Structures are given as C-alpha cells and as structure tokens.
Amino acid sequence: MRKLSALILLFYIIPSFCKAQHDILVLEKRGMHVRTYTIGDPMTFRTVYDQWFTGTIDDLHRDTVFIAGQSFSYKEIAAISRIKTKWDNRTTGAILTTAGIGFFAIGAINGALRGDEAKEWYTTSGVIIGGALITAGVLFLATSKKYYRLGGKYKLQYLQIGRR
C-alpha cells in the first residue's frame, strides 16, 4: 500500500505543483532565430504608442510581457533595443576613428620632437591612411543600428511552453 501511495504521489501530485519551463519570446529575422527572451532577461523596447520601457522581464503569461510592474501584449512591441553581444558597428567605428586620430597625433608629436616644420609632419600616404581610418570609423558609427524594428524582416514570436 505504501508503494502504491508513493507512486501516486510521485507521478500525479508532485508534478502538478512543479513548474520547470517558462514561456519565451523569440526574435526572428526572416524566419531565422536571432535572440530569445525569457523570465529574468533584461529588455528595452518601444511600444506602438512610441514609449520606451526598460527593465527585467518579471513574467510571461498568455501573450503578455510583465516588466517593472506593467503588462504589455507582445503585439504592442514595435522595436527592441539591440543588446551588444560581440563587436558591432559602433565598437568597430569607435576603434577605427580613435586609430585615425591617434595616427595623426603621433605624426604631429614625432614631427614636433624632431623639430620639423609643420608642413613636413605628414607624408601623402600618412594623410591617406589616417583619413581613411577616420572616414571608415565615422561610416561604421553612422550605419550602426541601435534597435530591431519589428514588422519588416524582424518578427517577435511568443511561444507558450507550459499550460496555465
């Protein structure tokens, strides 16, 4: 009798109190997975009402995202801020621009220490290299996306994993 009651407890009663999986939000680009959001993940997004919200996802329940005590339908999210996961265009642009400015600064410092005239500090190739570094850095900075705009190639899917 004890074995039977232990089996009933193990297979029927205990699992009804346990919850192992949570719903998730999946950001897709043309059907391919980009990022997954679940409970406890930080998220910054813009709603269709043109308001930005930042916080940690408190709960995902029946197509609703709960952040900082407020609830939003996942369909009300118009854009999601990009979270830096590796080197992006902003980082690359800042490094290239800094390298170009540093290249010009080193040329000026070396020329001044040698006692050269100001017009002799830079060679033609030095001006081209420094200018190309700065131009490429500024272009990378200008083209960096700061958020995923939903609706076109980016879509947000709500996956309900557990029953509620």
Residue 63: name the closest of 134, 148, 147, 164 by CA. 164
pTM of the predicted protein model: 0.57
Give the tens place of pLDDT for each residue, 15-47. Answer: 566 555 678 888 899 989 888 888 888 888 899
Residue 152 confidence class, pLDDT cut points 50, 70, 90: confident
Question: What is the C-alpha to C-alpha distance for residues 27 and 44, in angstroms, rounded to an integer?
Answer: 13
- What phi and psi values does residue 138 have, to the nearest 5 degrees? -65, -40
| Cβ-based neighbours of 65, under 8 Å, separated by 6 or more | 25, 43, 57, 71, 72, 73, 74, 77
| Cβ-based neighbours of 151, under 8 Å, separated by 6 or more | 78
Give the tens place of pLDDT for each residue, 96-121. Answer: 999 999 988 988 888 888 888 877 88
pLDDT of residue 134: 92
